Structure formats: C-alpha cells, structure tokens
Structure 1
Amino acid sequence: MLKMDRVEKGYEKFRLQCSLEVKPGFVTGLVGPNGAGKSTAFKAALGLIHTDGGKVEIFGKDSAKLTNRDKAEIGVVLADSGFSEYLSIKDISRVMSALYPGFEKTKFLKQCEQFHLPVNKRVKTFSTGMKAKLKLLLALSHKAKMLVLDEPTAGLDVAAREDLLDILREYMEEDTERAILISSHISGDLEGLCDDLYLIQDGQIVMHEETDILLDQYGVLKVDEEQFRNLDTQYILRRRKETFGYRLLTDQKQYYVENYPKMVIENANIDEVVLMMMKGEEL
C-alpha cells in the first residue's frame, strides 16, 4: 500500500532518512519522541514536502504519478492541516461531497452526532478534542483504501480515544485490503491496534518489529553489578545504568527466564522499548 525506500529530507538541524512499508491488511505504527521525524515522514510519504532523495510508492505507483482518483482513496489526519475553522460541519460536508465521489454524507453526519459535534457551529468554537474527532471522521468518510494518521487521538479523553479506536478497528474489518499508518504518543492505543511498529529517532528508523512479537518476546532484566558480570549478553539490545545496577532490554526474554530463574525479568511494553532504545547504550 505504501513503501518508502531510503527517503531523505534535510533541514538546517535535522535530516530524515526513512525506509518503511505499510502492507495491505496491516495497521502500522510509527513511534518516537517529539521531534524524531514522525510528521516529516508522513508529509514526505504524502508528497507534501519536496524530498532530497529516495522513492515513495503508494498503491504500487510512484507517488508523483498518483491520479486524483488515487489520492481520493487516501484518508489523512495531520496536526497542522484541515478545513477553515470559519466553516461549519454542514459547510464542510458540502465541500467533501464536491471533492470526493465516495463521500458518505449521511454516515458522516450521523457519526458527528454520535460524537456530539454540532453540525451548525463554526469549527473555531470547537474544543481541541472535538477538532481531533472531526479530523478523524473526515478521513474515514470517503471510503479510503488507506489512512495516514498523525496523532489522531491527541487531545481526547480515554473514553473518546477508545470510541475512535473502535471505529478504526471496524474500518479494517470491513475490508481486508485496507491499511493504516498511524503515529501516537499513547502506547496503549498502538498496543491494541497495530500489527507492527517502527521506531524513529533523530530522523532514522532504529527498529521494526511485529507488535505481538514485541509484547511476547521482549523483556527487561534488572540486574546488579555481579549478575551483569556473569550474564550472557548475546541477546541484550540496550543497557541503561540504574542505582541498583543495570536495566537491560532483550528480544529473547524466554532465554533468560529459562537460564536465569532467580533474575528479575519483566515483560516489556512499547513505552519501555522506546525508552530503552532511545536512552540505553549498546553493549
């Protein structure tokens, strides 16, 4: 659905060098700290910024050769994009009807009502959470084959986030050939939604893993100095010094469970993996 091959974009103090792939039927997450390059990667993928090198393919085509019909099959949520805030939802629905042949007006307005979005008020009167809901509902409103969502749940409370994640799950269940590329700083959203994850740091992809494998096979070892000296470190990905000794990240948790039964070994979640990959040091 989407393939970025060694895409580069340079700024004065930042350079993106990114390769990733979003496969049909997959929800792919892009995680990393603020300023790591998530939004730049999304804009490069969508052709919204000029790149310095590399190649982007969408639906098997060079992104520069996409037709208007191809582009209409991509639903997008970006932090700094959207309709004029002087429009109402009814105004926006008329614009969407003209722009997208597949726009499902009745369904869209019903979902706006479900999420308590007033259709006659100007968007500028909406709260941050209401604007986030509107952006996502618009991305879902025109039968897109692929969604590109940059922090779509930002500003939403727990209940609203779960409602929108349920809508994304339904979107994927309706057609096995659909795909989503999503970023979020809320790891719980990604753990329950994504099939695989890319970690980006300083503009470069530093890890790619299936979510199930990450949650099942990755672990964190907590060891003192003596335990560390006697440890087989061949499966240790990162080390971080702590007051008690070391915190260690491994992608072979079971190996250490079986061979070091007295050692403190914890399951790793996405936040832990991201933190260790960014702050930990290689052995």
Structure 2
Amino acid sequence: MNPGFYALVGPNAAGKTHYLHTLVGPHAAFVPAGADAKFAGTTVDDHLRAVTAVHPHVDLDFPNARIKDLSVGQRRLLTIEVALAMGKDLLLLDEPFDGIDTSTRKRIRQRLIDYIAGNPQRSVVMASHRPEDFTGLATHVMQVFDHEVSRPVPLDAARLCFPTVTGPTAKIEELSARFSVAESASLGPMTRVTFAEPIGEDDIHLPIEYPDDPELIDLLATERPER
C-alpha cells in the first residue's frame, strides 16, 4: 500500500473490520474497535510491561491505573498510543473516535497527524462511520460494499464524481434524465441535485459545486462505486 491516509467507508456490516484484519501483519499495528480491545493484566503498568516484552523499543509514560477504572476515552487513547509507539509502517484503526470526548478526539487527531508527518512513508487505514472523523486526515478513500473493497482513489478525484447543481426544477429534471443522481431536494421552483458522475459546465450551462470532505465521505459511504 502506498503512503497516505486511507478512509475506509461503507454501510454497517459491509466488511470494513474484516478488511482491516486482512491487512494485519508484521509491518502493521492494529487498533480494534473499543469493544474488541484487549489488555494484558489488570493495570496500565501490567499492560505496558506485556507490550515492551514483545516490542522492547516501546517507551510510554501513561498514568498507571486499573484498566477497569479507565474511561472509554482513556482506553482508546492507551491502545492508540501503544500502536503509534510501535512505529510500524502501517497503522490500522477501527472506529478510533467512538465514545470519546472532544478533547480526547482532538488529541488523537493531532497524534495521527504527527505520526504521518514523522515519516511520510507510513500509511494509515481508518474505518469510521462518522464522516467528520476523516476531515483534514484522509488523502484517499476506499469503499466497502458486501465485503468487496474498491481500489484506493484520491479524495480530490472522488470529489469530482459528485457535482452539485442548483437551478430551475424543469432544467434540473432534464439533467436528471441524462445523468445518475445521488441526492435531490426541491424548494419552490428550484431544485438542488447532487449527481453521481462527473459533469462538465459545458454540458449543463449552470454553476457546479462540489462536496466538502464530510459531505463527500457521506456520499461515498452510501453510493456503490461503478464496476
């Protein structure tokens, strides 16, 4: 896998977690979903000693406490910090922001940014059901439907596949008969439609807008890629 930050998107039970498991190997660090996280021993120190027994170079200063007393956010932060400290070329994250507060989410986002910046040859593959989790992080996107994974596509290239046009309803209906539609909404005599394929301004003679990152991720999570 080429260096970059890959957003893994798709409906629930589409196979995102299964795909992450297929990437696990000696060059990868995997952070499972919160409910699947396992810890060695009963305290943070127990867990870190077990980690360093396998990865001697890992050196983390994390407050000791009983694992059962840690909040959801503290557990997520611990698992992610351990994975980052391993320094693997590939980091696999399954819903890393689930159940954590805004402060912890910001901290984890910054740690991920620092992780990539520290070595541009690294790759991160992250699955999440929250489109906003990928904002400012994702460079590529992969769609998962029925356990089939699409090839990676640069986010900016994917954006061009979802042009949005607003205009008189009659004109938009004419366009909708010619091009695939992802979303449509009408208000009075005007209709706003997001198409599911590229369209040039010369084809429609109306201004074209494109989705921001959260809107784009939301569309990609529900629109199957063309075969």
Which category of TM-score, normalised to the shorter sequence, fits these structures? 0.7 to 0.9
What is the CA distance between 1:38 and its match in structure 2?
Answer: 0.7
Amino acid in the other structure paired with 1:98 = A
Aligned AA for 1:154? Answer: D
Aligned: 1:76 with 2:30: yes
**1:87 corresponds to:** 42
Deviates more, 1:185-194 or 1:143-152: 185-194
After superposition, the Cα gap between the structure-2 partners of 1:166 and 1:32, relative to the gap in structure 1 and judged at 3 Å, is same
- Which residue is equivalent to 1:33? 11
Q: Deviations over 1:106-135 (max 9, x none)?
A: xx21xx3xxxxx31x111111111111111
Change in 2 beyond 3 A, CA 1:90/1:275? closer
Aligned-pair identity in percent equals 21
SS at match of 2:93: strand
Check the 8 A contact 1:132/1:152 in 2, yes or no: yes
Q: State the SS of the aligned residue for 1:163.
A: helix
Which has the larger displacement, 176-185 or 237-246? Answer: 237-246
CA distance in 2, matches of 1:224, 1:200: 35
Change (3 A) 1:271 1:193: closer
Give the AA of the match of 2:19. A
Matches of 1:249 and 1:89 in 2, distance apart? 50
Mark the CA change 1:36 to 1:221 in structure 2 (over 3 Å): closer, same or farther.
Answer: farther
- Residues 152-231 of structure 1 mapped to structure 2, 5 A cutoff: 152-205=96-149, 208-215=152-159, 218-222=162-166, 225-231=169-175
Preserved CA contact (<8 Å) 1:29 1:181: yes
Mark the runs of 5 or more structure 2 residues left unpaired by the alignment: none
The answer for unaligned runs of 5 or more in structure 1 is 1-21, 47-62, 64-70, 113-117
Instruction: Say if 1:148 and 1:180, in contact at 8 Å, map to a contact too.
Output: yes
TM-score by length of 1: 0.66
The answer to whether the 8 A contact 1:30-1:184 is kept is yes
Q: 1:217 to 1:208 in 2, by over 3 A?
A: same
* C-alpha separation in 1, matches of 2:171 and 2:149: 32
**Which among 194, 204, 223 is matched to residue 248 of structure 1?**
194
- CA offset digits 1:207-254 (Å, max 9, x no partner): 7421233346743234665223432876x453445455673324536x
In 2, the alpha carbon distance for the partners of 1:91 and 1:147 equals 23
Mapped partners of 1:228, 1:147: distance in 2:
44
> How big is the alpha-carbon RMSD for the aligned residues of Structure 1 and Structure 2?
3.0
When residues 209 and 148 of structure 1 are mapped into structure 2, their CA distance, relative to the original with a 3 A threshold, is same
Report the TM-score when normalising by structure 2: 0.80
Report what 1:45 is aligned to: 23
CA distance in structure 2 between the partners assigned to 1:279 and 1:250 by the alignment: 8
Distance 1:33 1:217, change over 3 A: closer
CA distance in 1, matches of 2:154, 2:21: 24
Separation of aligned partners in 2, 1:95 and 1:202? 37
Match of 1:96 in 2: 51
Verify the 8 A CA contact 2:161 2:195 in the aligned structure 1: no
- Change beyond 3 A, Cα 1:81–1:143: same
Q: More strand per residue: 1 or 2?
A: 1
Which of residues 233, 238, 248 is equivalent to 2:181?
238
How far off its partner does 1:28 sit?
1.1
- The C-alpha deviation readout for 1:229-281, integer Å capped at 9, x for no partner, is 432876x453445455673324536x23x654556x4431344345545269x
Q: In structure 2, do the counterparts of structure 1 residues 223 and 209 end up closer, same or farther at CA, with 3 Å as the change threshold?
A: farther
Aligned residues: 219
CA change 1:189–1:241 in 2 (3 A) is: closer
